[in-house]
Amino acid sequence: MHLDEKIWLTLSFGMIMIFMFITGYQTFALEMGPPSNNELIDPQKVDETAPFDEPGIKQVGENEYEVVMTLQVFSFNPMDIEVPAGSTVHFILTSKDVVHGFEIAGTNVNAMVMPGHIQKITQKFDEPGKYLVLCNEYCGAGHQVMSTTITVK
Ligand code: CUA
């Protein structure tokens, strides 16, 4: 083997090892890995499975709310929720059919909602206003009309 080949082999193998080490360090030491929420649900039985048998908004503490929501082609249930300014809202989401998105414009909330999985995400709403909620995963012919609002007042 040529010396040049040995150098390139060593360099490329070394780079792979370095990249793998960086990724491992970020995932395990810095906890930057993707969240792995293993709460599962039978997507055929969402309507009968708690808490999704009663979708809606519920106060769970001072300035704290829980929103149990189902996503389906092409709507959110419940629609058009309202919370007081300063509220922390825990969203508990699942899909009844295909993959949908849950994005709240103007916030960092941007979640993928998959059938068979329970998605949880928390957001504090300080600024009063009407927040647009969008599905940002293509889910069929009516995807572009799949939206609702969260009113903070
Ligand atoms: Cu639901 Cu796109």
| 111-140 pLDDT per residue, tens | 999 999 999 999 999 999 999 999 999 999
Q: List the CATH number of the domain containing 131.
A: 2.60.40.420
Same domain, 117 and 90: yes
| Domain span at 124 | 39-152
| Closest-lying ligand 1 atom to the alpha carbon of residue 142 | 2
Which residue's C-alpha comes closest to atom 1 of ligand 1?
A: 100
Same domain, 10 and 82: no
Distance from Cα 65 to the centre of ligand 1, integer Å:
25
Q: Domain count of the chain?
A: 2
Distance from Cα 112 to the centre of ligand 1, integer Å:
10
Residue 35 has pLDDT above 90, yes or no: no
pLDDT of residue 85: 97
Over the stretch 13-26, which tens digit does the pLDDT of each residue have?
A: 999 999 999 999 99
Same domain, 77 and 139: yes
Binning pLDDT at 50, 70 and 90, where does residue 41 land? very high
Global confidence as pTM:
0.78
Same domain, 123 and 81: yes
Distance from Cα 51 to the centre of ligand 1, integer Å:
22
Residue 37 has pLDDT above 80, yes or no: no
Binning pLDDT at 50, 70 and 90, where does residue 1 land? confident
Binning pLDDT at 50, 70 and 90, where does residue 34 land? confident
d(CA 52, CA 47): 6
- Name residues whose C-beta falls within 8 Å of residue 119's C-beta, 6 or more positions apart in sequence: 37, 91, 92, 93, 94, 102, 111, 112, 113
| Closest-lying ligand 1 atom to the alpha carbon of residue 146 | 1
| Closest-lying ligand 1 atom to the alpha carbon of residue 139 | 2
Over the stretch 67-106, which tens digit does the pLDDT of each residue have?
A: 999 999 999 999 999 999 999 999 999 999 999 999 999 9
What are phi and psi for residue 125, nearest 5 degrees? -110, 105
- Please tell me the total number of residues recorded for the chain in this structure: 153
Same domain, 21 and 81: no
Q: How many CB atoms lie within 10 A of CB 89?
A: 22
